[in-house]
Amino acid sequence: MNPPDGTRLGLHHDRLRATSFGGEAALYDRARPSYPDELIDDLMALKPKHVLDVGCGTGKVARLLATRGCDVTGVEPDPRMADVARSRGFLVEVATFEAWEPAGRRFDLLVSGQAWHWVEPIQGAAKAADLLVPGGHLAAFWNLGAHDPAVLALLDPVYRRVVPEIAAETTALRVPMRDQRSRAGSLQAAAGFGPVEVRSYPWEARYTREQWLEFLATHSDHARLEPARREELLAEVGAVIDGLGGTLPFYFQTVLILATRAATA
């Protein structure tokens, strides 16, 4: 769960990390959170019919939009993730967004849930503008989460002791909220786009011990740990949750960057 963080605009170069989720595609589909109804309501207020889902993964966003009547096409670089989305009945084409061939198709809405940071920002913005009809929209959004300070005070020492190399940056502990506007700025500067706005949707989830450990297993920085150290980390995090009574609160903000294609081509 990586943020639209201006300090990490080069993350799209790490293709190995970008495709690290596919080995646990079913777990990813089960354990990753969905998105708030208020966000989907706002997207549907744009009256989209034809939607392109960039980095569609297992189809979590596609499902939300399809149930509202949208025709959704997915683009996903990992065939294992794409297979899960296809099993849900969605058309998914396997490619990176930069290399994907649209074959003349145009869209009212381009969405990217938890994935736009894997797209090269300049090339991606230009291609998105080209794929959208005049007046269409690009909606990139992320679930950014934070712990209660008292819980963070218990978890942070565990990470710093067991996996110090990821403790400072892992989004399992904290997410920097200050830099999301940098990606909005890259879209604002892209040819073809007009207004860009940032919206935030706060919501709360409560995880059981098993649910939280499964959620952690879907984080790329956790998945790439040496197995014995990952198991040690999960065991110690599980012990913290046991000490909290078996559940863990997590406070999300779903941050939306919404860019509007200029009304004239």
pLDDT of residue 202: 97
DSSP label at residue 219: S
- Domain hosting 111: range is 6-147+174-204+252-261
Residue 102 in any domain: the answer is: yes
pLDDT tens figures, 37-47: 999 999 999 99
Residue 127 domain-assigned (yes or no): yes
Amino acid occupying residue 192: G
Residue 153: inside a domain? no
What's the one-letter identity of residue 227?
Answer: P
Residue 161 lies in a domain: no
Number of independent structural domains in the chain = 1
Q: Is residue 256 part of a domain?
A: yes
156-215 tens-digit pLDDT: 999 999 999 999 999 999 876 555 555 666 676 676 888 889 999 999 999 999 999 999
| Residue 175: per-residue pLDDT | 77
The string of pLDDT tens digits covering residues 89-142 is: 999 999 999 999 999 999 999 999 999 999 998 899 999 999 999 999 999 999
Confidence (pLDDT) at 4: 40
User: What is the rounded CA–CA span in Å between residue 38 and residue 115?
Assistant: 20
Question: H or E element: which one contains 252?
Answer: strand 247-261
Distance CA 206, CA 238 (A): 14
Q: Is the pLDDT of residue 151 over 90?
A: yes
Which of 94, 121, 126 lies closest to 19 in space, CA to CA? Answer: 94
Q: What is the pLDDT confidence band of residue 30, given thresholds at 50, 70 and 90?
A: very high
Q: Which of 11-15, 81-85, 199-203, 219-223 has the lowest mean pLDDT?
A: 11-15
61-99 pLDDT, tens digit per residue, is 999 999 999 999 999 999 999 999 999 999 999 999 999
pLDDT at 246: 98
pLDDT at 214: 96
Report percent pLDDT > 90 for the chain: 77
The answer to pTM > 0.95 is no
1 pLDDT higher than 80: no
Q: Kindly report the CATH number assigned to the domain that includes residue 27.
A: 3.40.50.150
Domain annotation covers residue 221: no
pLDDT band at 9 (very low <50, low <70, confident <90, very high): very low
- Look at residue 112 and give its three-state secondary structure: strand
Q: Tell whether 156 is covered by a domain.
A: no
The contacts of residue 204 (CB under 8 Å, 6+ apart) are 249, 250, 251, 252
DSSP state for residue 246 in the 8-state scheme = S
Would you state the pLDDT for residue 265? 52
Q: What pLDDT score was predicted for residue 182?
A: 59
In a domain, 233, yes or no: no
